[in-house]
């Protein structure tokens, strides 16, 4: 069983569907918060597996944020050491930065905040079977497929919703970590997305959370077992 280091970006962010499932599957999960000064390993292979979650800042802030710069180096080392890596939103963008792919908002300002359909590519069809809507909370994303990666899923407004680099490193722009009961708190905590074009209001988000909860949870169980499979 694996010891998974899970980087979150506020001390109070200790809830995650991914952590729930990993523990149920017999793994241990350790949360650390880089902005709060929690130490990071020098290299990803000092742990069995690494998750980097979402953030309220962008990877572009590495020049003035030592914590962000350290996370970018850690994501790059996951590729160098073939350590299982899962990047969610900011974590996906950190992985893309490791191969020279930046991220940005759309020129038209469209954001995704709510539940949106994703479409698997041919390469991602089996991995994403049974998952058609996911929770999103972002305005920036990789606007081009990271060099050397395999594109796994896209959405209408953001082409790069999921990709893989190497055999064990995945980037997901969407948020499978958000359970249905967490949606009101996410809405209150992400006011910077309110009013942007494309964003869904809270009532719709709550209704969609109930509608898609089962399919998202079942997909996460399958995906995490695949991610940490010794094969």
Say yes or no to pLDDT of 27 above 90. Answer: yes
49 pairs with which residues across the strands? 4
**55, 10 in Cβ contact below 8 A?**
no
pLDDT at 103: 92
Residues 128-170: tens digit of each pLDDT: 999 999 999 999 999 899 999 999 999 999 999 999 999 999 9
Beta pairing, strands 140-141 & 49-52:
unpaired
Confidence of residue 61 (pLDDT cuts 50, 70, 90): confident
- The residue assigned the tokens 């918060």 is 33
Q: How far is residue 197's CA from residue 138's CA, in Å, rounded to a whole number?
A: 12
> How confident is the model over 211-227, as pLDDT tens digits?
999 999 999 999 999 99
Which pTM was predicted? 0.96
pLDDT mean over 181-209: 97
What pLDDT score does 22 carry?
Answer: 98
Range of the domain at 26: 3-227
Strands 119-120 and 49-52: unpaired
- CA angle in degrees (0–180, nearest 5) for 18-19-20: 90
What does the pLDDT average to over 110-115? 98
Q: Is 217 exposed, middle or buried (0-12, 13-18, 19+ CB in 10 A)?
A: middle
Looking up residue 202, the CATH number of its domain turns out to be 3.40.50.880
Domain count, the chain: 1
């Amino acid at each position: 069983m694996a010891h998974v280091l899970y980087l979150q970006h506020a001390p109070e962010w200790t809830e995650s569907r991914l952590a729930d499932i990993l523990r149920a599957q017999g793994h241990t999960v350790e949360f650390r918060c880089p902005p709060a000064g929690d130490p990071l390993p020098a290299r990803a292979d000092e742990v069995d597996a690494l998750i980097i979650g979402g953030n309220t800042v962008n990877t572009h802030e590495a020049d003035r944020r030592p914590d962000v710069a350290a996370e970018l180096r850690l994501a790059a080392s996951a590729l160098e050491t073939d350590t299982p890596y899962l990047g969610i939103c900011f974590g996906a963008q950190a992985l893309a930065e490791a191969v020279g792919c930046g991220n940005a908002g759309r020129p038209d300002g469209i954001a995704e905040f709510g539940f949106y359909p994703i479409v698997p590519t041919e390469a991602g069809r089996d991995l994403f079977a049974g998952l058609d809507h996911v929770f999103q909370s972002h305005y920036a994303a990789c606007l081009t497929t990271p060099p050397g990666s395999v594109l796994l899923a896209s959405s209408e407004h953001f082409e790069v919703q999921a990709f893989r680099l190497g055999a064990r490193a995945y980037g997901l722009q969407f948020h499978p970590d958000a359970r249905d009961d967490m949606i009101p708190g996410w809405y209150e905590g992400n006011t910077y997305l309110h009013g942007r074009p494309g964003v869904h209001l809270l009532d719709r988000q709550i209704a969609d959370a109930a509608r898609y909860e089962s399919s998202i949870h079942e997909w996460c169980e399958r995906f995490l077992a695949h991610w940490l499979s010794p094969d």
